[in-house]
Structure 1
Amino acid sequence: MSFSLAEVDSLEAVVIIDNEVDPLSWIAPDTVDVSGRFPDVMLSESKSTTVGENTIKVMPLEAMCCGAHGLSVLVTATKDGVKHSVLFDTGPEEEAWERNAKRLGTDISIVEVIHLSHWHRDHSGGMIKAIEMISEAKKSSATAAAPVIVDLHPNRPEYRGFTIGNNPVSFSTDPTFAEIERAGGVVSKNSAAHTVLDNMFLISGFIPASAPYEKGLKGGIRIQDTNKGWEKDEEMADERFLMCNVKGKGIVMFTGCSHRGVVNASRSAVELLGSTVPLHAVLGGYHLVGSSKADVEATVKDLKALNPKVCLPGHCSGWRVKYEIEKEMPGRASVALITASSAGLGAATAKELAASGIRVVINYNSNREKAAAVLKELQALQPSSSTSTDTEPRFHIIRADVSQRASLISLVEETVKVMGRLDLVVSNHGWTKIRDFANLDDNIEEEDWDRCFNMNVKSHLWLFHAARKYLEETEGSFITTASVAGVIPGGSSMAYSVTKAAQIHLAKGLAKIAGPKVRVNSVSPGLLMTEWGHQFPQAKIDKTTNKSVLKRVATVEDVARQILCLANSSSQTGTNAVIEAGLLLG
């Protein structure tokens, strides 16, 4: 049976409980937006103290969530301004759920349905406290709210456990139907797949097995009838996943433990929508923590064939599958094309992006040796067995004359053909010839103006036009390298200054046209001591350095970090970031 699940405009997942917390690691651009990291807490929850005459912020570690062996995720879907929320599992115990829910500051009164993925205490242990807190929050809510529905598989075991050798060991018991109702929940027993909340969520039924290596929970046992004792329970027939269909993305599936197999569950999710909607993301427990190397590798191979753009293994997944996913599906959601990246700022940007996990296409025109040297440096930053696979290389080199429109089109097409997608374009190329800016007669060469306008304005427009459809598919970003000479008159020549100003204005114009799917920004560095920058007379370099507030010039690494920042930001478009060590303040 297939379903027609409503396409939701957006989906938010608030992780209340997981086995680990990591508020520090970077997030791959254009995959998911993440809050709750250290900088977020510092800005929203920070305390202050006085040291001498200074007031400083203090990180309140007591505001951070704690890990616990289990899973609980609050999922909110929005369609046409209407929001619905499901609490997916409730973690292992009440204290952990209450503590983290309070620290997150999430409005839990919005929870309409609690979905239990399966009868195991690490997913049901916080159930009673969650129902009580949600019910109390609903009483305080300004809007009238119905009691929370608790969607459960009807086949609740009296006891459930596993064997160690020949010895049975029981988990703590799950809450009973009666206890759930006494806490204020409305029990809804379902073993078949069904939709809830205006058709925005689908809860699966029995998950069919198709992957030969996913054989259920080895050693699983249960007591269904206390008069009969323990019986084999490896099938885990009560396990059910939750899924949504996000517009322009596809299926987002939440899995509790994947005892029946994360590949089986993922395939089932696709089949439930008639195999017409792609799998976009898989979040939850993959249950590979104790699996063999061969099973982990087979799982990732089959997941890769389903082509999810986001994999978020948590809870019982284990580090081995996380490593295997990173190795075999590296930076799948992020491919950057950087023009003029065989040296200077382009090369520095390639290194910065590669270090953050982004797959990079290096562009050069005349010097392949330099491009190859950059490639070697990138490979050293992130050694991986999949760096040079035929289907999804981590890095690639393409020769293209960016002054020619046809060449730019070919550059984009080859990038997508080889890398499989395009998420970020850093349009880094340009042209100038050093002139005496103060001498009008030295700034009227027609060839200078034609070449500057072609390379500093038109070619960026052509490149954006060629890349736009691919960037729309990934909701990506286009960043041009302008110059501080486009902000205030000055620099290498009048033609350069004027066309860089036009380039900044072009980026703002493209930002208006490209939204809401594509973000367009520009960076305007001051003097950079690249091979080109060293062509300036030392007197000019010294004058620029002394005039800047920081008494130095910006580095290519400074600018590369700003480019990565713009690429990571989902809310910035039409921005021109100036990086010039305070030169304009001098």
Structure 2
Amino acid sequence: MRKLSLIIVAILVLALAFIPLFRQQNPVRQQEGGNKNKITIVYDNKALGGFKSSWGFAALVRFKNHTILFDTGGNGEILLSNMRKLGIDPKSIQYIFLSHIHGDHTGGLWAILRENPNVTVFLPDIFPDSFKEKVRSFGAKVVEIDEPEEILEDIYTTGVMFPVGEQALVLKTSKGLVVVTGCSHPGIVRIVERAENITGENAYLVVGGFHLFGAPEKEVRVIAASLKRLGVQKIMPCHCTGGEAERIFAEEFGMGYVECGVGKTVSW
């Protein structure tokens, strides 16, 4: 009987010894799965503590082993500072996607190209030739966008939409489309409709500037309802959306609303 008790105690001791190993392994697996596809805000009007905020927008998109910098904010020093604090190496960027010509979305580009010229820059073909030549002078490749097209596997551009001449980025994911916008000058509903028409799939998540500063509450609620009808389940309004519009979207989308700001990440 005493020998049996000793055996049981020994088994319990061994079991307790292995528990910490399992605790260490599980978070690693969860982290790897959670980090595969995500968008991290690196430049915005708002920021978490420790990061710098400024007028403009930029987000780092990681999807299917591709690393894309969507827009570059207005100030290269601020952009690089936020990226350093987030542990993002500029040399890890493979592609830069510029939504439109405004300086609060393109101003940080030159600082990035000085750090990493080995990138492909997707930009609207209506950008000035002088801008394109300056990009090429760093050694970067320029791809001019006009019509909707698949630019990488399951990654699309809406093509240039007017007014202003703006493109949005569209990711085809297992949950639906993820749409990333710069300022949404053509209208956020029009952009999402274009994304769905291109791919034949419903939108799941929309991230970026919605250009709704000063928009009446009724208009914002109509936009929210339209996005829901298009299948949008999660929304992360940033930059030029406006505080009042953000409040309304938070009410309309509830748990599907994600607050924006430098340092924030949304994954799927």
Is the TM-score greater than 0.5?
Answer: yes
- Residue in structure 1 matching 2:71, options 79, 89, 92: 89
Matched to 1:11, the amino acid is N
What's the counterpart of residue 217 of structure 2? 293
**Structure with more of its chain in helix, by fraction:** 2
CA shift for structure 1 position 157: 5.1
- Mapped pair 1:243 → 2:214: no
Corresponding position of 1:182: 137
Q: Does 1:125 align with 2:80?
A: no
Give me the whole-angstrom Cα distance separating, in 2, the residues matched to 1:302 and 1:325.
12
**Compared with structure 1, are the counterparts of its residues 262 and 243 closer, same or farther at alpha carbon in structure 2 (3 Å cutoff)?**
same
Inter-partner Cα distance in structure 2 for 1:201 and 1:332: 23
Question: Would the aligned equivalents of 1:263 and 1:299 in 2 still touch at CA under 8 Å?
Answer: yes
C-alpha separation in 2, matches of 1:176 and 1:263: 30
Q: Distance in 2 between matches of 1:150 and 1:114?
A: 5
| Partner SS state of residue 176, structure 1 | helix
Show CA shifts across 1:256-307 (max 9, x none): 0000011111111111112xx2211000001101222332222112112223
Please state if 1:201 is matched with 2:172: no
- Which position in structure 1 is the counterpart of 2:30? none
Q: What is the rounded CA distance, in whole Å, between the counterparts of 2:157 and 2:250 in structure 1?
A: 29
Q: What TM-score, normalized to structure 2?
A: 0.77
Structure 1 SS opposite 2:116: helix
Tell me the equivalent position of 1:192.
147
Task: Tell me the residue number matched to 1:259.
Answer: 185
* Among candidates 84, 97, 104, match of residue 102 of structure 1: 84
Name the % identity. Answer: 28
Relative contact order (C-alpha < 8 Å, sep 6+): which is higher?
Answer: 2
SS class of match (1:329): helix
How much has 1:85 moved relative to structure 2?
1.4
Please report how far the alpha carbon of residue 206 of structure 1 lies from its aligned counterpart in structure 2 after TM superposition: 3.2
Of 268, 275, 280, which aligns to 2:204?
280
Deviations 1:222-251 (A, max 9, x none): xxxxxxxxxxxxx22x2000011112x110
Alignment correspondent of 1:30: none
Quote the Cα distance in structure 1 between the aligned partners of 2:38 and 2:220: 29
1:154 aligns with 2:125: yes
| Native 8 Å contact 2:181 2:209 kept in 1 | yes
Q: Distance in 2 between matches of 1:200 and 1:307?
A: 19
Instruction: Determine if contact 1:250/1:278 at 8 Å carries over to the other structure.
Output: yes
SS at match of 2:83: helix
Shift of 1:109: 2.0
Letter in 2 for 1:125: G
C-alpha distance after superposition, 1:119-171 (max 9, x if no partner): 11000000111111123xxxxxxxxxxx211111121259xxxxxxxxxxxxx
Local SS of the residue matching 1:302? helix
**Aligned partner of 2:233: which letter?**
K
Shift of 1:322: 1.4
Q: Shift of the alpha carbon at 1:10?
A: 4.4
SS of equivalent to 1:280: strand
- Matched position secondary structure for 2:180: strand
Partner residue of 2:28?
none
What is the alpha-carbon distance in structure 2 between the residues aligned to residue 108 and residue 14 of structure 1? 14
Q: Is the 8 A contact 1:13 1:76 kept in 2?
A: yes
- Pick closer, same or farther for the CA change 1:203–1:101 going to 2, 3 Å: same
2:124·2:160 contact (CA, 8 Å) conserved in 1?
Answer: no
1:250 is aligned with what amino acid? G
Matches within 5 A, 1:26-425: 64-78=50-64, 83-135=65-117, 147-156=118-127, 176-197=131-152, 199-207=153-161, 235-236=163-164, 238-247=165-174, 249-274=175-200, 277-332=201-256
| CA–CA separation in structure 2 for the residues paired with 1:261 and 1:10 | 30
Distance in 2 between the 1:278 and 1:202 partners? 14
Residue-by-residue CA offset, 1:356-408 (whole Å, 9 max, x unaligned): xxxxxxxxxxxxxxxxxxxxxxxxxxxxxxxxxxxxxxxxxxxxxxxxxxxxx
SS in 2 for 1:180: helix
Contact 2:189–2:226 under 8 Å retained in 1: yes
User: Is contact 1:65-1:103 (8 Å) kept?
Assistant: yes
Give CA-to-partner distance per residue, 1:153-212, whole Å, 9 cap, x none: 121259xxxxxxxxxxxxxxxx71122112232111121122223x131112134xxxxx
Between the aligned partners of 1:10 and 1:300, the Cα distance in structure 2 is: 29
Change (3 A) 1:20 1:332: closer
Q: Deviations over 1:521-564 (max 9, x none)?
A: xxxxxxxxxxxxxxxxxxxxxxxxxxxxxxxxxxxxxxxxxxxx
* Amino acid in structure 1 at the alignment position of 2:254: P
Cα distance in structure 2, aligned partners of 1:17 and 1:184: 25
Q: Distance in 1 between matches of 2:256 and 2:89?
A: 33
What is aligned with 1:18?
A: 44
- Mind listing any 5+ residue stretches in structure 2 that lack a counterpart? 1-34, 258-266
Contact 1:11 1:246 (8 Å CA) reproduced: no
Q: Secondary structure at the match of 1:130?
A: helix
In 2: Cα distance, 1:267 partner to 1:66 partner: 33
Instruction: Provide the aligned C-alpha RMSD in A.
Output: 2.1
Amino acid at match of 2:127: R
Contact persistence 2:215–2:245 (CA under 8 A): no
Q: Which amino acid aligns with 1:177?
A: K
In structure 1, what residue type is equivalent to 2:205? A
